[in-house]
């Protein structure tokens, strides 16, 4: 069974979350506002629902789509592995607040990896495009292009040159 969000905020949200809000990094505040877009959460929710034919209505409760989205963003921004993501979110109250986990259980690394696979590269690409569109609309980023040099360079020979190669002065 899949949920969009955790349904009812606990006492953790009303007390502790407000105390640590000033500890958030500036990028977290900007991204938090961008992630309020319902289309982003909906696309993750739809991708989670495609894992199995009846996964929306049957089975164990999955990690809410909003939490999955925020965990994957945090993993990408920090360039962490799933193991590191699990450890850091479990230990850090700021990351718990950003990912909207609160006092709920943090998914383990294996579950996070499966969620990342379930979302898939196509949905990740759509999420990226939507985030960039929202960021441009709100003036967070400028709409310039980024170009990367992708020149192909052939590797040099991996074998040692032989005497025959040296004698003919050609590449081997």
What are 24-51's pLDDT values in tens digits?
998 899 888 888 888 899 999 888 888 7
**In this structure, is the dihedral angle defined by the CA atoms of residues 47, 39, 27 and 100, taken in order, positive or negative?**
negative
If we measure between CA atoms, which residue out of 37, 59, 39 comes closest to residue 47?
A: 39
**Would residue 75 count as lying in a domain?**
yes
**Would residue 108 count as lying in a domain?**
yes
What range does the domain containing 24 cover? 11-143
**Would residue 157 count as lying in a domain?**
no
**Would residue 164 count as lying in a domain?**
no
pLDDT of residue 168: 54
**Would residue 169 count as lying in a domain?**
no
pLDDT of residue 109: 95
Owner of token pair 């963003």: 73
**Would residue 50 count as lying in a domain?**
yes
pTM above 0.85, yes or no: no
pLDDT of residue 150: 60
pLDDT of residue 130: 86
Q: Are 73 and 31 in contact (CB under 8 A)?
A: yes
| pLDDT tens digit sequence for 149-171 | 565 555 555 555 555 555 555 55
Number of structural domains in the chain: 1
Q: What is the mean pLDDT of the chain?
A: 80
């Amino acid at each position: 069974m899949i949920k969009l969000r955790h349904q009812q905020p606990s006492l953790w949200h009303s007390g502790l979350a407000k105390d640590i809000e000033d500890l958030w990094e500036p990028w977290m505040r900007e991204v938090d506002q961008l992630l309020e877009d319902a289309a982003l959460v909906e696309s993750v929710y739809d991708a989670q629902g495609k894992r199995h034919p009846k996964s929306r209505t049957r089975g164990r409760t999955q990690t809410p789509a909003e939490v999955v989205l925020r965990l994957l963003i945090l993993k990408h921004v920090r360039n962490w592995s799933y193991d590191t993501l699990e450890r850091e979110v479990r230990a850090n109250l700021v990351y718990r607040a950003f990912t909207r986990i609160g006092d709920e259980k943090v998914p383990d690394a294996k579950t996070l990896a499966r969620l990342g696979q379930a979302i898939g590269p196509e949905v990740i690409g759509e999420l990226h495009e939507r985030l960039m569109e929202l960021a441009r609309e709100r003036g967070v980023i400028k709409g310039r292009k980024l170009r990367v040099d992708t020149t192909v360079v052939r590797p040099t020979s991996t074998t040692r040159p032989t005497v025959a190669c040296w004698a003919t002065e050609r590449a081997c």
